[in-house]
């Protein structure tokens, strides 16, 4: 069999794209770093898990149902979402996590030569999907840790199709108020699609934080992303959705892969939506964890950015990747921020109090060891 | 930076390895080299190397074999790639220590390869498959060194109120290089940085990137450069600061600029083997130190620094049993998750001759050996190289071993036998981690 001529077969934009390699499974990591346990503070997952009603659905899932295809377009879930938000079910598209709906939107609107605009220090999947699909991703540096609205507007040209705003932003937790978002949408004036990714929507309690879904009737070029991976604790089942105006969603549906969301994810998400108590409990846990963490970080004299969402960004007096390895050897997994162009910063997911205590204990040891090593050098 | 030049894939020639086509190959390389900017003498050196390789191949392969020659420009050098298959390609002649005996026919046959290797500045050999060989010959352009300029007249900068960072090209870069030569000792930068025009071309080629710090009057007050070492590692230099008293915030901004520039690339590590006092240590971790000697023979050490650019996913490295203890201790100290796989000799047939490449830094009086292939004569070959270096009064000798290539660890017993000591690990410096050995002081 002749070996394929990959140089001819592979498009240039794929050749130059470096594949993202996810971290190894926990059992392998524990063996590699020699730790007995592992607290995952790297992916902003909800340590409380899914709401109880969703948990019972998962527990009672009949094995024979695994042999039946799910609803190809998450029919019941879309109707439930429509009922909840007072919209048409056809305005919703459900995907295999929010990552998949990012792909739907970019494929629906971009063609060769087009570009998308987003921030430099934000969730990287908008940029990745654009680039490995052959479209330019224009990255605008953050301003004071937040999305720079004027900067984004200044990068628009006639080939700009989509602007992605992560609100609140991952990893800085900054957010645009409703006034700022409206002002931005007014200036765009329907010329491009504006995607507002609200993956952490349910964590935000600030009064001026916008509920973008309510703006859809005024801004038909607006598309809103939500996910069940964060607040609703269903990250392992992969389910998220987008919502937009009927005309826009009808276009996006053409690039939507049906049957990509499994039946268990659809049923668990369907049940999870109603559980307000779960949201209160999670918010309470995040508040306690943040209060504790902020107090301890002040004592350690570390700079941090405590924005919205279930995470905090911390600047260390050492390389973030070295801190990652040292924390891993103590059973704590955090996210390094060099890849977000924040050298020496880490992002830490807020967990239950006892886990936050374990994190601070491990971090203190790592910093103390570094200080002793530095003193020895002097 | 002129990316269009960097993206130039060069000019290709594919011909049969037939004596009839020898003039085609040589004129192709000569004219390409001239077109890419080498002077006549430099172009002829590359042409001579081509002629010798082609003549050797005529004997080592049949006339229906195809050789592909690709000439490309790196702005400050011209590279000729030779891709061919040969049944009996003996690379022994690429050893620096090779001498030709007029009484041995086999030895005379290899003289051509010897001439080829000595005619160029860099030689790389890659074995791609059982008989597929990839030879890369590089000839650099000549540039005037800083010795030809009066560095004492360079402006000194005081009263810096504020500063900013910008990309450096052209005249800024030439001034920066002269400033760094006037402010820092030669061990603080690689020998290429003694040639301002060359650095300009290195940046223009896209292989190097440079940023400078300028003050409120747009005077250059510092800078740093970086370049890729292989596909996973970036090497940075300095940072170099020219203001009175070292301002660490300038150094920090320069290093941050470098880190941010490569943050979204596939770089796994950033290393610095030429650190200055101003290097912001919080951004790096020390790998260990290497010993060098001043011209009067006094020893001094330089610490190599590393920064991992991504979360470490763990990896596997090859080791000889004699090196295992060192690796375990270092990996523990550096908190690097590694699976060590031992390579043991189980009687399998080996190549007869090993091949080493040698890279000299005559200004700083050191040489780095790198294995091109292993063989039964590893011990003898290393010994012969050491004898040669002794004759040339070279006191500092390094050996770079890639732990991602199992055959390279076969050199470990010979290295220990000749009093080499493993000094530092450069994580992800090659296919795998690189161990840098240094010859012990008794040499």
Please list, in sequence order, all residues whose beta carbon lies within 8 angstroms of the beta carbon of residue A345, skipping any fewer than 6 positions away: A313, A314, A315, A316, A320, A336, A337, A338
Nearest chain A residue (CA) to B303: A377
Contacts of A318 in chain B (CB under 8 A): 282, 285
How far is the alpha carbon of A22 from chain B, nearest alpha carbon, in Å? 9
- pLDDT at B107 (0 to 100): 55
Q: How many angstroms separate the Cα of B12 from the Cα of each of A192, B15, B68, B69?
A: 45, 10, 7, 6
Structural domains of chain A, ranges and CATH numbers in brackets: 6-49+276-377 (3.90.1150.10), 52-272 (3.40.640.10)
More confident residue, B244 or B311: B311
- CB contact under 8 Å between A338 and B256, yes or no, is no
- CB contact under 8 Å between A321 and B307, yes or no, is yes
Contacts of A338 in chain B (CB under 8 A): 259, 263, 309-310
Q: B146-308: CATH homologous superfamily?
A: Gcn5-related N-acetyltransferase (GNAT) (3.40.630.30)
- pLDDT at B303 (0 to 100): 93
Closest CA to A237 of A246, A250, A228, A245: A228
- CB contact under 8 Å between B263 and A33, yes or no, is no
Average pLDDT over residues A56-65: 95
Closest CA to A285 of A43, A47, A39: A47
Tell me: the pLDDT tens digits for A7-49?
889 998 888 887 888 888 999 999 989 999 999 999 999 999 9
- CB contact under 8 Å between A325 and B312, yes or no, is yes
| Residue A186 to residue A151: CA distance in whole angstroms | 15
Contacts of A339 in chain B (CB under 8 A): 263-264, 309-310
Q: Does B259 touch chain A (CB under 8 A)?
A: yes
Tell me: the pLDDT tens digits for B308-346?
999 888 889 999 999 999 999 999 999 999 999 999 888
Nearest chain A residue (CA) to B283: A319
Q: Please check the confidence at residue A363 and state whether its pLDDT lies above 80.
A: yes
The partner residue sitting opposite A343, judged by closest CB among B283, B311, B335, is: B283
- pLDDT at B104 (0 to 100): 56
Q: Does B308 touch chain A (CB under 8 A)?
A: yes
Contacts of A345 in chain B (CB under 8 A): none
How far is the alpha carbon of B259 from chain A, nearest alpha carbon, in Å? 7
- CB contact under 8 Å between B260 and A28, yes or no, is no
Nearest chain A residue (CA) to B253: A343
How far is the alpha carbon of B264 from chain A, nearest alpha carbon, in Å? 6
Q: Does B265 touch chain A (CB under 8 A)?
A: yes
Contacts of B309 in chain A (CB under 8 A): 321, 338-339
- pLDDT at B441 (0 to 100): 65
- pLDDT at A22 (0 to 100): 84
The partner residue sitting opposite A324, judged by closest CB among B260, B281, B311, is: B311
SS3 category, B149: coil
Q: Does B266 touch chain A (CB under 8 A)?
A: yes
Tell me: the pLDDT tens digits for A268-310?
999 999 999 999 999 999 999 999 999 999 999 999 999 999 9
The partner residue sitting opposite B283, judged by closest CB among A32, A33, A319, is: A319
How far is the alpha carbon of A323 from chain B, nearest alpha carbon, in Å? 10
Average pLDDT over residues B167-195: 92
More confident residue, B358 or A355: A355
Instruction: Give contacts of B 334-353 with A, CB under 8 A.
Output: 335-337, 339
- CB contact under 8 Å between B282 and A319, yes or no, is yes
Which tokens sit at B83?
A: 């891709």
- CB contact under 8 Å between B335 and A340, yes or no, is no
Phi, psi for residue A282 in degrees, rounded to 5: -65, -45
Whether B146-308 shares its CATH topology with B315-439 is answered yes
Tell me: the pLDDT tens digits for B129-176?
656 778 888 899 999 999 888 777 777 777 777 889 999 888 999 999
CA angle at residue A161 from A159 to A167, to 5 degrees? 135
CATH code of B3-140, in short, is 3.30.565.10
The partner residue sitting opposite A343, judged by closest CB among B256, B265, B312, is: B256
Tell me: the pLDDT tens digits for A203-228?
999 999 999 999 999 999 999 999 99
Nearest chain A residue (CA) to B340: A32
Average pLDDT over residues A236-252: 97
Tell me: the pLDDT tens digits for B253-292?
999 999 999 998 889 999 999 999 999 999 999 999 998 8
Question: In which residue are the tokens 């590694």 written?
Answer: B338
Contacts of B311 in chain A (CB under 8 A): 23, 321, 324, 335-336
Q: Which of A131-145, B20-34, B387-401 has the lowest mean pLDDT?
A: B387-401
pLDDT above 70 covers what percent of chain A? 99
- pLDDT at B109 (0 to 100): 61
Q: Does B231 touch chain A (CB under 8 A)?
A: no
- CB contact under 8 Å between A24 and B313, yes or no, is yes
Closest CA to B118 of B100, B142, B102, B144: B100
Tell me: the pLDDT tens digits for B108-129?
566 666 777 778 887 777 766 6
Contacts of B310 in chain A (CB under 8 A): 321, 336, 338-339
Q: Please check the confidence at residue B7 and state whether its pLDDT lies above 50.
A: no
Average pLDDT over residues A185-193: 97
The partner residue sitting opposite B266, judged by closest CB among A18, A322, A340, is: A18
Average pLDDT over residues A260-267: 97
- pLDDT at B297 (0 to 100): 79
- CB contact under 8 Å between B313 and A329, yes or no, is no
Q: Does B129 touch chain A (CB under 8 A)?
A: no
Question: In which residue are the tokens 């540039």 written?
Answer: B143
Strands A115-119 and A160-166: parallel
| Residue B200 to residue A197: CA distance in whole angstroms | 44
Q: Please check the confidence at residue B97 and state whether its pLDDT lies above 70.
A: no
The matching CATH number, chosen from 3.40.630.30, 3.40.50.300, 1.10.150.120, 3.90.1580.10, for B315-439 is 3.40.630.30
Nearest chain B residue (CA) to A342: B260
Q: Please check the confidence at residue B5 and state whether its pLDDT lies above 60.
A: no
- pLDDT at B442 (0 to 100): 45
How far is the alpha carbon of A3 from chain B, nearest alpha carbon, in Å? 14
Please list, in sequence order, all residues whose beta carbon lies within 8 angstroms of the beta carbon of residue A23, skipping any fewer than 6 positions away: A29, A42, A333, B311, B313
In chain B, where the domains are located: 3-140, 146-308, 315-439
| Residue B344 to residue B266: CA distance in whole angstroms | 33
Q: Please check the confidence at residue A70 and state whether its pLDDT lies above 60.
A: yes
Average pLDDT over residues B80-107: 67
- pLDDT at A116 (0 to 100): 98
Contacts of A326 in chain B (CB under 8 A): 335
CA angle at residue B4 from B1 to B7, to 5 degrees? 110
Residue in B261, B310, B312, B317 to test binding to A, most A beta-carbons within 10 Å: B312
Contacts of B282 in chain A (CB under 8 A): 317-319, 344
- pLDDT at A222 (0 to 100): 98
Q: Does B281 touch chain A (CB under 8 A)?
A: yes
How far is the alpha carbon of B101 from chain A, nearest alpha carbon, in Å? 44
| Residue A128 to residue A349: CA distance in whole angstroms | 23
- CB contact under 8 Å between A341 and B263, yes or no, is yes
Catalogue the E-assigned strands of chain A.
Answer: 39-40, 92-95, 115-119, 136-140, 160-166, 193-197, 222-227, 240-244, 304-305, 311-315, 332-333, 335-336, 345-349
The partner residue sitting opposite A329, judged by closest CB among B307, B308, B335, is: B335
């Amino acid at each position: 069999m002749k070996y394929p001529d990959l140089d001819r077969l592979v498009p240039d934009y794929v050749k130059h794209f470096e594949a993202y390699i996810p971290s190894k499974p926990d059992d392998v990591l524990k063996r590699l770093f020699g730790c007995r346990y592992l607290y995952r503070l790297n992916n902003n997952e909800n340590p409380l898990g899914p709401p109880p009603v969703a948990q019972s659905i998962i527990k009672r899932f009949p094995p024979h149902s695994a042999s039946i295809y799910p609803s190809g377009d998450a029919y019941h879930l879309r109707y439930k979402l429509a009922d909840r938000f007072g919209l048409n079910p056809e305005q919703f598209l459900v995907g295999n996590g929010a990552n998949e709906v990012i792909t739907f939107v970019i494929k629906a609107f971009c063609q060769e030569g087009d570009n998308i605009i987003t921030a430099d220090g934000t969730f990287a999947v908008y940029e990745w999907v654009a680039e490995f699909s052959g479209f330019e991703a224009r990255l605008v540096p953050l301003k004071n840790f937040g999305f720079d609205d004027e900067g984004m507007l200044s990068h628009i040209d006639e080939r700009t199709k989509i602007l992605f705003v992560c609100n609140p932003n991952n990893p800085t937790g900054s957010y645009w108020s409703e006034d700022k978002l409206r002002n931005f949408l007014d200036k765009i004036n329907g010329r491009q699609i504006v995607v507002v990714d609200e993956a952490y929507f349910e964590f935000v309690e600030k009064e001026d934080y916008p509920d973008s879904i309510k703006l859809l009737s005024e801004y038909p070029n607006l598309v809103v992303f939500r996910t069940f991976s964060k607040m609703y604790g269903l990250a392992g089942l992969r389910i998220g959705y987008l919502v937009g105006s009927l005309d826009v969603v009808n276009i996006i549906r053409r690039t939507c892969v049906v049957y990509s969301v499994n039946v268990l994810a659809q049923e668990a998400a369907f049940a999870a939506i109603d559980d307000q108590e779960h949201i209160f409990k999670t918010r309470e846990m995040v508040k306690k964890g943040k209060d504790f963490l902020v107090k301890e970080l002040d004592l350690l004299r570390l700079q941090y950015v405590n924005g919205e969402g279930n995470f905090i960004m911390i600047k260390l007096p050492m390389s973030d990747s070295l801190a990652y390895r040292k924390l891993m050897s103590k059973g704590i997994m955090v996210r390094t921020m060099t890849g977000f162009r924040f050298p020496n910063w880490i992002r830490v997911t807020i967990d239950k109090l006892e886990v936050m205590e374990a994190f601070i204990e491990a971090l203190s040891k790592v910093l103390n060891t570094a200080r002793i090593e530095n003193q020895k050098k002097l | 930076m002129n990316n269009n030049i960097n993206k130039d894939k060069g000019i290709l020639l594919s011909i049969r390895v037939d004596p009839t086509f020898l003039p085609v190959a040589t004129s192709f390389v000569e004219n390409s080299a001239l077109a890419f900017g080498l002077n006549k003498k430099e172009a002829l050196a590359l042409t001579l190397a081509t002629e010798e390789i082609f003549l050797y191949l005529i004997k080592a392969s049949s006339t229906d074999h195809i050789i592909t020659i690709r000439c490309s420009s790196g702005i400050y050098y011209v590279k000729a790639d030779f891709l061919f298959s040969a049944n009996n390609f003996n690379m022994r002649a690429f050893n620096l220590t090779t001498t030709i005996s007029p009484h041995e026919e086999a030895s005379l046959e290899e003289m051509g390869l010897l001439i080829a290797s000595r005619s160029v500045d860099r030689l790389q050999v890659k074995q791609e498959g059982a008989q597929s060989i990839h030879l890369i010959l590089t000839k650099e352009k000549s540039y005037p060194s800083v010795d030809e300029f009066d560095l004492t007249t360079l402006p000194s900068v005081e009263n810096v109120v504020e500063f900013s960072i910008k990309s450096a090209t052209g005249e800024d870069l030439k001034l920066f290089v002269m400033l760094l030569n006037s402010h820092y000792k030669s061990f603080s930068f690689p020998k290429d940085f003694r040639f301002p025009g060359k650095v300009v071309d290195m940046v223009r080629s896209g292989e190097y990137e440079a940023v400078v710090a300028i003050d409120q009057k747009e005077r250059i007050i510092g800078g740093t450069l970086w370049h890729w070492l292989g596909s996973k590692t970036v090497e940075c230099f300095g940072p170099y600061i020219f203001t009175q008293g070292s301002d660490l915030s300038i150094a920090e901004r320069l290093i941050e600029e470098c880190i941010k520039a490569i943050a979204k690339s596939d770089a796994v590590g950033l290393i610095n083997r030429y650190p200055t006092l101003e290097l912001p240590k919080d951004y790096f971790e020390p790998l260990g130190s290497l010993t060098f000697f001043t011209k009067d023979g006094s020893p001094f050490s330089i610490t190599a620094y590393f920064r991992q650019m991504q979360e470490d996913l763990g990896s596997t490295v090859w080791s000889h049993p004699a090196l295992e203890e060192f690796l375990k201790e270092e990996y523990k100290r550096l908190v690097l998750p590694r699976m060590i796989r031992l390579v043991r000799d189980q009687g399998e047939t080996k190549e007869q001759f090993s091949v080493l490449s040698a890279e000299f830094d005559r200004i700083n009086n050191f040489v780095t050996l790198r294995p091109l292939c292993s063989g039964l004569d590893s011990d003898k070959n290393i010994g012969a190289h050491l004898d040669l270096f002794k004759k040339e009064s070279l006191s500092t000798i390094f050996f770079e071993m890639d732990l991602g290539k199992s055959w390279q660890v076969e050199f470990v017993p010979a290295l220990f036998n000749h009093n080499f000591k493993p000094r530092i690990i450069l994580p992800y410096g090659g296919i795998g981690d690189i161990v840098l050995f240094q010859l012990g002081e008794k040499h």
